[in-house]
Amino acid sequence: MWINKLFRKLVFFLTVFFFSSSALWAAPVSVEDRALLTQIQKDTLQYFVHMSDKKTGLTRDSSQPGSPASIAATGFSLAAFAIADSHGWLPDGYAENYVRKTLKALLRQTEHEQGFFFHFIDRQSGKRVWGSEASSIDTALLLAGALLAGRYFPGSDIERMAQQIYNRINWAWMLNGSALVCMGWKPESGFLPYYWDSYNELIILQALAIGASVNPIPPQSWQEWVRWEDEYAGKKIIYSHSGSLFTYQYSQAFIDFRGLNDGGINYFDNSKNATLANLEYSLAFRNQYRGYSENSWGLSASLGPGGYKAYGAKPGEGLQDGTVAPYAAIGSIVFSPEEAIRAIRYFHDNYKDRLYGHFGFKGAFNLDKNWWADQYLGIDQGISFLMLENFLNEGAVWKRFMPLEAVQTWIERTGLAGEIAPVN
């Protein structure tokens, strides 16, 4: 038994080494495109620099005046500051001090229940606001950013505090006696009636909950959620209900799925297919909406003319009204580089005056309604920053996140390293 486990671990590490050491992308990126992408990443960083509280480090949900902090945006912020420090993009010690004070605020003053943070919090006090839930997925995204930051400062109090936050979470409690993780809990009414029961961004939550050394959920929970499969434009996809691109991106900003196999499913390839299907679905409506073309696409949950909506493609609900979110293409850059770079270049060169600002690309736009977002969302900036880092620097985030003991434990407990799937 132990020999089989040792062999499987060896196979996995060799696979990770091979993919991490080889070129990620078939075609080289031009000097001009690399320069543009790097500048976008640097500009996107400024959202976290300017929208994080100077005392607590908690990061605002959006750039709108009066916006509270979001726990998921804070997770992306921790990751962004640590990465920026590795590039020397901030003054010496600035990022390290930011990460340290943020983790202290999360440990000592930010309101939580059984370790699960509330979705929206006051950025100065850390208290729950807007009647929000103690959110399982947002806590997982916060934790992913914290653990990643710890990997950039190994052996430090930063790494120790990130682990303390992790160990404090009672993952089993959020099952609420079921086989699936509940979406959240409110002090007034208890557990929400919704559970993470089908494919979407839940993978990062499942990974950290199963891989935890304290109060984990059973490995069998991995098999409990539904993997809906359908086809669009000749591409088979394990799809999310909304079809929003972010659902195929968030977990894979941290987890490198290229060498993992879930019963014949490779989620990296799946996200690639979903990205191309998103483009094809947009093109199917290009005669109806002026904002869709081979150079202009990206259907994902975003701001829109009628407020925030879960825009997406088929398979899935396929909600769309001509609104395009630039972050959707940026977040897909590791899956479909050529199509993503073409869209990013087009957005920048054609709509820079309306769509681009001090913090990079704004939320979204709709040409038919002459609507342009006037704000940034922290989670949009976060996925953009991390995926650009993975693309421009040979999977730099993946290389640090994958060796985490929790990630390795999750892989071992779910058998994901067995029979490595081919990667195209």
Give the pLDDT of residue 417. 87
Q: Give me the count of residues in the chain.
A: 424
CATH 1.50.10.140 positions along the chain are 1-53+227-397, 57-217
Question: What does the pLDDT average to over 254-258?
Answer: 97
Residue 397 has pLDDT above 70, yes or no: yes
Split at pLDDT 50, 70, 90, the class of 66 is very high
Question: What does the pLDDT average to over 285-298?
Answer: 98
Domain 1-53+227-397 CATH superfamily? Glycoside hydrolase 144 (GH144) (1.50.10.140)
Residue 205 has pLDDT above 80, yes or no: yes
Q: What is the pLDDT of residues 17-27, one digit of tens each?
A: 444 444 566 66
Question: What does the pLDDT average to over 324-342?
Answer: 98
DSSP state of 304: -
Select the CATH number that applies to the domain covering 57-217 from these four: 3.40.50.1100, 1.50.10.140, 1.10.287.130, 1.10.230.10.
1.50.10.140
Q: Burial of 364 by CB count in 10 Å (0-12 exposed, 13-18 middle, 19+ buried)?
A: buried
CA distance linking residue 326 with residue 347, whole number of Å: 7
Q: Are 99 and 161 in contact (CB under 8 A)?
A: no
Q: What is the pLDDT of residues 121-142, one digit of tens each?
A: 999 999 999 999 999 999 999 9
What distances in angstroms separate CA 94 from CA 35, 88, 89, 90, 97, one per listed residue? 24, 10, 10, 6, 5
Q: Burial of 404 by CB count in 10 Å (0-12 exposed, 13-18 middle, 19+ buried)?
A: buried
Question: What does the pLDDT average to over 337-366?
Answer: 98
pTM for the predicted model, two decimal places = 0.93
Give the pLDDT of residue 48. 98
C-beta neighbour count of 195 within 10 angstroms: 20
The residues near 185 (Cβ < 8 Å, ≥ 6 apart) are: 113, 114, 116, 133, 134, 174, 191, 192
Give the pLDDT of residue 11. 45
Mean pLDDT over all residues of the chain?
94
Query: Which alpha helices (DSSP H) does 257-404 contain, by range?
Result: 267-283, 326-330, 337-355, 378-392, 396-401
Give the pLDDT of residue 418. 59
